Amino acid sequence: MISTNYIVAIDLGTSYIKGIIGTRSLTGVFTVIACETESSVGCIRRGVIYNVENTSHRIITLLRKLANRVPGIQIKKVYVGVSGQSIHSIDHVVAKSLGADGEVKKETIDALYDECQTFKPDGLDVLSIASPAFYLDGNHEINPVGIPCSCIEARYKLIVCRPSLKRHVINSIERAKIEILGIFISPLALADVVLSEDEKDLGCALLDFGAGVASLTIFKNKRLIGLCTIPLGSHLITRDITGLNVVEPEAERLKRTYGDAIADKENDSLVQVNSINGAGPRQIKSSEINEAVKARLQEILENVHARLEESGVADKLSAGMIITGGGASLKNFDKAVRERFGMAVRYASVNKTFFEKTNIPIEPEYGVVAGLLLKGTMNCSYTPPVSPPVKKVSVEVPAGVEKSEEEPKVEESKIERPERKERDRPEIKSPVGRGKRGKSFFDKMTGFANILFDDKDYEEDDDVRKNDTGKKETNNINKPEE
């Protein structure tokens, strides 16, 4: 398998943990391979992890789903998006005096940023630093480098959160034996893929209405004006509907099916619901459902309006408000927002110019992980090496000979062995005058005796032997032949 750089990102939401896997071309365009979700119920509340162990198991399951879409790879690293009720922006100003004949240089801008990084707010962790606004001798300048001034101010927006939020995220993912390549702010990642540069320049507000929290991100002149998290979400509407003597799953169904942000009492109807005591179905009025929806929604929108007023640009958002999130799917939600804020409203959609070569439609609910994917630069996967196949050695068989699967046997007679040199042995004369005989055991022993003793010592006690004819014959041993 050819090795490919795969980028993986996950977003830890109140209702779902969402993940995405894709590749990035040399031109910076992304190809989405898969998007998956895993329930986070019982693990995350209002965007904050409260059960590290369960969250770790859910992350492992989600990453396994993504890895199954690309057979042969293992996901070892991820980019993570976080949100939560403690995430918000704060202002921090860094000033520097340049003297009467001073001039802003690139080194000046770098020094201001380095000093900003050393700032540690009390009881908070800094997650991100947004691009600052520069003021030279009190005048706003977009590109300050090269402009003479005596004093420069850099007004930063720091995105901060409680230390526990970041710590629990790190513990959950490391417990799953996964390396974190980067932690990003989910609302800012979402803004990168659903807002255009013109909207950020003209001024706009991005409202992500989720189940646990509602996040509000405000832009003006292509700069982040403010980010806040409101600890109120659409799940509160569901809980209010349970006051009609229905269980929570049934209340969620009634909200999605019959809930209306703008209640119309003239079109009131009866709705059949399941009883909690097992007595059978019963009926309630749709107006009862919508009264609960409208009351809670009004409270949430009032909180959004208050945060918008605090930004100081509520009346300068020419591009209006962009809405998204699971709670925004409520019927007539856009009309309710338009009536309350008096500005243009549209539903968010993912900018397709960042993606190509994919048949997977990136729905708005995957907008956050799509934005996180754009921030990925490093490979998150590992492809195990594939062992090369074992080559079989073929043996040529002569024509006419059948091929056998068994190993060829070599005949014993055809095995070449080195020649042995026969040791020199003494020549032994036969005691009966027969000349040379085969070297039997007796012959060998006689030869050894000839070496140790003289010839005369070998005279036998019986000098005469009888031959085969019965005649006496003198032993010819050691006597010369006539």
What's this model's pTM, rounded to 2 decimal places?
0.76
Return the ∠ at Cα 181 (arms to 175 and 185), rounded to 5°: 95
Residue 194 has a pLDDT of 94
Q: Which of 279-283, 345-349, 383-387 has the lowest mean pLDDT?
A: 383-387
- Report residue 122 as tokens: 């009390």
Instruction: For residue 470, name the pLDDT band (cuts at 50, 70, 90).
Output: very low
The hierarchical CATH code for the domain 87-161 is 3.30.1490.110
Return the ∠ at Cα 387 (arms to 382 and 390), rounded to 5°: 170
Contact indicator for 224, 405 with CB cutoff of 8 Å: no
164 vs 401, higher pLDDT: 164
Using the predicted structure, report yes or no on whether residue 304 has a pLDDT greater than 80: yes
Q: Taking residues 346-359, what's their average pLDDT? A: 80
426 vs 177, higher pLDDT: 177
Instruction: For residue 408, name the pLDDT band (cuts at 50, 70, 90).
Output: low
Share of the chain above pLDDT 90, in %: 57
Instruction: For residue 482, name the pLDDT band (cuts at 50, 70, 90).
Output: very low
C-alpha span between 435 and 429 (Å, rounded):
6
Mean pLDDT over each residue of the chain, to the nearest integer: 82
Looking at 3.10.20.30, 3.20.20.140, 3.30.420.40, 2.60.40.10, the CATH number of the domain 1-86+163-196+351-384 comes to 3.30.420.40
Residue 390 has a pLDDT of 62
- Report residue 65 as tokens: 């789903």
437-455 pLDDT tens trace: 455 555 656 565 555 555 4
C-alpha span between 197 and 221 (Å, rounded):
9
Using the predicted structure, report yes or no on whether residue 405 has a pLDDT greater than 70: no
Residue 21 has a pLDDT of 93
C-alpha span between 62 and 55 (Å, rounded):
11
How many helices and strands (H and E) does the chain possess?
Answer: 11, 22
Instruction: Name the region of 143 (left: φ>0; alpha: ψ -120 to 50; beta: rest).
Output: beta
Residue 436 has a pLDDT of 46
C-alpha span between 173 and 161 (Å, rounded):
18
118-174 pLDDT tens trace: 999 999 999 999 989 999 999 999 899 999 999 999 999 999 999 999 999 999 999
Domain ranges of the chain: 1-86+163-196+351-384, 87-161
Instruction: For residue 467, name the pLDDT band (cuts at 50, 70, 90).
Output: very low
Residue 224 has a pLDDT of 94
- Phi/psi of residue 112, each to 5°? -65, -40
Residue 341: helix, strand or coil by DSSP? helix
The structure tokens 């000098």 sit at 463
- Report residue 430 as tokens: 């036969």
Of 276, 283, 232, the C-alpha closest to 258 is: 283
C-alpha span between 14 and 233 (Å, rounded):
10
370-390 pLDDT tens trace: 999 999 989 998 766 666 666
Using the predicted structure, report yes or no on whether residue 476 has a pLDDT greater than 90: no
C-alpha span between 107 and 435 (Å, rounded):
118
Residue 150 has a pLDDT of 93
Using the predicted structure, report yes or no on whether residue 469 has a pLDDT greater than 50: no
C-alpha span between 390 and 95 (Å, rounded):
69
Residue 263 has a pLDDT of 75
C-alpha span between 260 and 336 (Å, rounded):
10
- Max Cα–Cα distance, the chain, nearest Å: 160
Residue 58 has a pLDDT of 95
Give Cα 442 to chain centroid, integer Å: 90
Using the predicted structure, report yes or no on whether residue 407 has a pLDDT greater than 70: no
C-alpha span between 20 and 22 (Å, rounded):
7
Q: Which of 108-122, 247-261, 444-458 has the lowest mean pLDDT?
A: 444-458
Instruction: For residue 101, name the pLDDT band (cuts at 50, 70, 90).
Output: confident
Q: Identify any residues that bridge with 129 across adjacent strands, giving them in sequence order.
A: 158
Q: Identify any residues that bridge with 93 across adjacent strands, giving them in sequence order.
A: 155
Residue 305 has a pLDDT of 95
The structure tokens 């005369």 sit at 456
Using the predicted structure, report yes or no on whether residue 219 has a pLDDT greater than 90: yes
Give Cα 186 to chain centroid, integer Å: 17
Residue 432 has a pLDDT of 46
Residue 9 has a pLDDT of 95
164-206 pLDDT tens trace: 999 999 999 999 999 999 999 999 999 999 999 999 999 999 9
Using the predicted structure, report yes or no on whether residue 300 has a pLDDT greater than 80: yes
Instruction: For residue 480, name the pLDDT band (cuts at 50, 70, 90).
Output: very low
- Report residue 203 as tokens: 């001024």
- Give whole-number Cα distances, 386 to 72, 73, 126, 382, in Å: 10, 11, 43, 12
Give Cα 397 to chain centroid, integer Å: 54
72 vs 481, higher pLDDT: 72
C-alpha span between 458 and 473 (Å, rounded):
17
Using the predicted structure, report yes or no on whether residue 359 has a pLDDT greater than 90: no
The structure tokens 């009888």 sit at 466
Q: Which residues contact 60 (CB under 8 A, 6 or more apart)?
A: 176
27 vs 341, higher pLDDT: 341
401 vs 217, higher pLDDT: 217
Residue 277 has a pLDDT of 66
Residue 5 has a pLDDT of 84
Residue 2 has a pLDDT of 42
- Report residue 309 as tokens: 């007023």
C-alpha span between 323 and 456 (Å, rounded):
133
Using the predicted structure, report yes or no on whether residue 424 has a pLDDT greater than 60: no
